[in-house]
Amino acid sequence: MMTIERDLVVVGGGPAGIAAASTAASLGLTVAIIDERVTFGGQIFKRLGQGFDLESPDVLGKDYARGARLIKELDQPSITKFTATTVLTIEDYQVITSHPDEGVRRFSCKALVIAPGAYDRPVVFPGWTLPGVMTAGAVQTMVKTQQISPGKRIFFAGSGPLALAFSAQLIKYGAPVFKVIESAPFPSPAKLLSLIASVKGNWDLAGDALRYRSTLLANRVPFHYGRIIIKAEGAGRVEEITHARVDKEWNPIRGTEVVEPADTLCLGYGFFPSHELFRLLDCEFNYDETRGGFSVKKDQWGLTRSSSPMPVYAVGDGTGVTGSYSAEAQGRLAGLHVANQIGSLATSDRDLRSKGFLKELHQRNAFQRGINQMFEVKHGIYRLADADTVICRCESVRAKEIDQVIDSTADVSVVKSYSRSGMGLCQGRNCQRQIAAMISDRHDLTISKINFQTPRMPVKPVEIGKIADPSIREE
């Protein structure tokens, strides 16, 4: 097994990971940055697919240019880049990874920055597994990187910035979005005033929101508040969808259903942090639904308590969803602190350099907090499934089967053992939050009090042949 030694290893090549790696490298540290994608940039800065060119990058928005500038920062001699590389586990001072061609690698380091990002929040309802039902991230990937529209009549259902931003971006990319529903109610005057009070330092984001709304208006795409998707139907793929008005907890109101033809249903209900590595390292968590659920406890530099003997920094949306600008600032702060702790940056210099990033982090988080509270996902979104709805799509486990198990337990891991839910390739990423919500309703528990599945090595699925030792032979 190859061992690669560096001062710092960064797991995750999105805004936070890139910022941490480039900052630390610019201060004299040797850095390895690892990402499971084939290119750096994360979802927000996803590059065009191989073989595609742009006549005008403007069509992909300002984030494309911003991402290109950030990714360019990785072109430093002291940074080694590893793509298509999956982290399997973390042991002592080492990160164990797998690559489809190079096999298993061992990274040895003095400090570790984990920036795993986030993934689309799955929404479970009758018909959610039909072809044509897609998350916003999946649709964005198809349209942005491959220049392929997933359908000819796209219905967008979501909440928060995603509902507005993604639908407008899809329209600009040429995707035929015909209607958008936002499950939250129209913001109250009090919430709007509170948000306006935090707009300082966020005028760019406020401007983006106005431009997105203008795009929908210019293309005559209706945008309705206070409605939720409740069903998708069709013969082998989505052909029609049903949506309804909701109460304050997002429970559908009977008698308000509307059925509409559509060949694609795009879902954008925010993100869940990818916190498996942090849980593997026994990091401490808070629970905040407005930030995607479990968020890692850490100091202003990103340093978190863990079972690892080396310092572990938690940065970006994988520690609690706050957006790409906040993620980048978190990465800069972590890079400065690592350089200081290793000895290549004086404490006075670290503090001086960090002032601007701390200020930006405070302003970005204040604005994002207001947005998150305004469009907080309510518990009714987890009550859309009926008895025959598939909850675990990997193992085809239905709601009625899970209901039988949760009569006797309030532990997601126990449900997994008895029903096989969460044993598939996604390892519970698509179903365990839904199962936790079902347990919450049955046993009258808050989500934060429920035990989720325990992450184990390998944290992501990998072929046995990729990690087996070829030198061992059966006698």
What percentage of the chain's residues is helix, strand, coil (to nearest 5)?
Answer: 35, 25, 40
Please, which pLDDT band fits residue 474 given cuts at 50, 70 and 90?
low
- What is the per-residue pLDDT across 76-96, written as a single tens digit (0 to 9) for each? 999 999 999 999 999 988 999
Q: Where are the domains of the chain?
A: 2-119+272-372, 122-269, 385-449
What CATH homologous superfamily does 122-269 map to?
Answer: FAD/NAD(P)-binding domain (3.50.50.60)
pLDDT digit string (tens) for 417-463?
A: 999 999 999 999 999 999 999 999 999 999 989 988 888 889 888 88
pLDDT tens digits for range 296-315: 999 999 999 999 999 999 99
CB atoms within 10 A of CB 303: 18
CATH architecture for the domain at 2-119+272-372: 3-Layer(bba) Sandwich (3.50)
C-alpha to C-alpha distance for 217 and 168, rounded to whole angstroms: 10
Q: Check if the beta carbon of residue 167 is closer than 8 Å to that of residue 177.
A: yes
Confidence of residue 52 (pLDDT cuts 50, 70, 90): low
Token code pair at residue 314: 């938690």
CATH class held by domain 385-449: mainly alpha
Whether the predicted pLDDT of 46 surpasses 70: yes
Look up tokens 């993934």; give the residue. 119
In terms of Cβ atoms closer than 10 Å to its own Cβ (0-12, 13-18, 19+), residue 407 is: exposed
53 torsion bin: left (phi>0), alpha (psi -120 to 50), beta (else)? beta
pLDDT of res. 271 = 92
What is the number of other CB atoms lying within 10 angstroms of the CB of residue 448?
14
**43-58 average pLDDT score:** 66
pTM of the model: 0.92
Tell me whether the CATH fold assigned to 122-269 matches the one assigned to 385-449. no
